[in-house]
Amino acid sequence: MQVENHLINLFTKWAGCKPDQITELPASASNRNYYRMTAGNISTIGSYNLDERENKAFIYLANHFKSIGLPVPEIYAEDLTNHIYLQQDLGDLTLYQQLVTSRKDDDFPNVLLDSYREVISFLPRFQIEGSKGLDFTICYPREAFDRQSMSWDLNYFKYYFLKLAHISFDEQELEDDFSRFKDYLLSAGHEYFMYRDFQSRNIMLNGDGHWFIDFQGGRRGALQYDLASLLYDAKADLPVDIREQLLAHYITCLKQYKTVNEEKFRREFYSFVYIRIMQAMGAYGFRGFYEKKEHFLLSVPYALQNLEWLMENHPIEDQFPALSGVLKGIIASPQIRQAGRKKLSIEINSFSYRKGLPVDSSGNGGGFVFDCRALNNPGRIDQYKSMTGMDKPVQEFLELQPEVKPFLDNIYGIIDHSVETYITRNFEHLQINFGCTGGQHRSVYCAEQLAAHLKPNPNINLTLNHLEQKFK
């Protein structure tokens, strides 16, 4: 409450009136707290952070970038004695949210590609124009992404991901590879401003343009790191061909500011992708494995997917064998592959076509519907009429029919493929329906058989419903 009182006082001093409303915004991975404060048509974001150096770095960088015309939030007022400041309210829509809402399955619409291209066109301006006249000694927590900074990231990865995920390694051999890896990264030019966390959640869409936030960790560094952060942002899950297009677009934009050896740049770029992925995995491990905030582990499957592609297409085994070994160990670990994955919820229904298709309450529009009416109907035989597909005599009757086993085998093949794909892609729900004339015999039997087939899979939660009430 004391923080809010300080923010109200600062708002009143800046706006000339007290705020009508103050609402704390959802927490992020940082220790900073944000509040939306409004009075009439005035709105601002109140920020609270106990880390004085980080506050000073953000305010200094925001003012510096604003002075050269870059789209960053304006700082309206500050009271660093009480660890607070007011910044421009840029709304709630991020590039990541645009990504999620615009994509349909594997489609990457042109409007989204255009958005990424525009964002990337700003990056060389931050890196090259933004570095001119910038006092890097104010940067937080260090003035450069130097050997020490790299050591922090690699140790973060080692202690909070490798060790907590129980990946075995030779400590000395891995440290030797870390040392050589840092030497290689430092051989790239590193006299530019490095945004450090240039990813889709830190890019806002407001009005007709893009705005850039959360650069308080920026420092002197290499050009490639920020591009790696954006293109290999785990949960953004950009398609490979889109990444290649955007990499080429960045190089074209960069050539407006400096001469570029494209082959060398690309070679160095993928090395920075490696360290960015390792830094991110360290963060996932710290927040997920150590702090038990399981939602941070949801990014692990996407990071593994990126890592697997990287190891296959830009291997580092010859240069850094110990490092390559632990990365292969991560990819091969069944426990890590399941980290953060929600179990796939599978709903199996039997139903009567006379009463219509089952409703899908998940909001995904339904799934598979298999028509059992081509199977011989035991309901036409007097002795089975009062029974259901859960009764042994009905089951024995259907198992003797030559068309039943091929029918189910084909269904098993289709469903097994979809279940495997859904789990790999971290989907959450699949509905499977079996229909027959009365929803009593054939559909009930088939639903029971599929449920028994899927039940051993430890990665699913299974629900079986026989929708005709008298047969539940």
- Residue that has been written with the tokens 């525009």 in this structure: 118
Q: Would you state the pLDDT for residue 309? A: 96
Q: Please report the domains of the chain, with CATH numbers, ordered by start residue.
A: 2-88 (3.30.200.20), 95-338 (3.90.1200.10), 344-471 (no CATH)
pLDDT at 472 over 50: no
First-to-last alpha carbon distance for the chain, in angstroms, is 54
pLDDT for 99 equals 95
CA 218 to mean position of chain CA atoms: 22
Reduced to 3 DSSP states, what percent helix, strand and coil does the chain have, rounded to the nearest 5? 55, 15, 30
In whole angstroms, give the CA distance from residue 124 to residue 254. Answer: 6
pLDDT in tens, 410-458: 999 999 999 988 887 778 899 999 999 999 999 999 999 999 999 999 8
Report the pLDDT value the prediction gives residue 423, as an integer from 0 to 100: 82
Contacts for 445 with CB less than 8 Å, ≥ 6 apart: 389, 390, 394, 395, 398
User: Which residues are CB-neighbours of 142 under 8 A, at least 6 positions away?
Assistant: 148, 149, 219
pLDDT band for position 360 (cuts 50, 70, 90)? confident
What's the confidence (pLDDT) of residue 471?
Answer: 44
Quote the pLDDT of residue 1.
77
Query: Does the pLDDT of residue 106 top 80, yes or no?
Result: no
Selection from 69, 73, 61 nearest residue 216 by Cα: 61
pLDDT digits (tens, 9 = 90+) for 343-355: 899 999 999 999 9
pLDDT for position 341: 67
CA–CA distance, 124 with 138 (Å, rounded to integer): 21
Is residue 213 classed as helix, strand or coil in its secondary structure?
Answer: coil
Query: Would you state the pLDDT for residue 427?
Result: 83
Residue range 110-117: mean pLDDT, rounded: 96
pLDDT at 221: 98
Range with the poorest average pLDDT among 5-14, 251-260, 343-352: 343-352
What pLDDT digit, counting tens, does each position of 54-86 carry? Answer: 999 999 999 999 999 999 999 999 999 999 999
Looking at the predicted structure, is the pLDDT value of residue 258 above 80?
yes
Which residue would you say has higher pLDDT here, 366 or 360?
360
Tell me the per-residue pLDDT of 138-188, one tens digit each, with 9 for 90 and over: 999 999 999 999 999 999 999 999 999 999 999 999 999 999 999 999 999
pLDDT above 70: residue 340:
no
Q: Measuring CA to CA, which residue among 396, 412, 405, 407 is closest to residue 452?
A: 412
Pairing mode of beta strands 429-436, 344-352: parallel
Per the prediction, the chain carries an average pLDDT of 94
Q: What pLDDT score does 426 carry?
A: 72
| Predicted pLDDT of residue 298 | 81
At residue 338, does pLDDT exceed 60? Answer: yes
Task: Give the pLDDT mean for 337-366.
Answer: 85
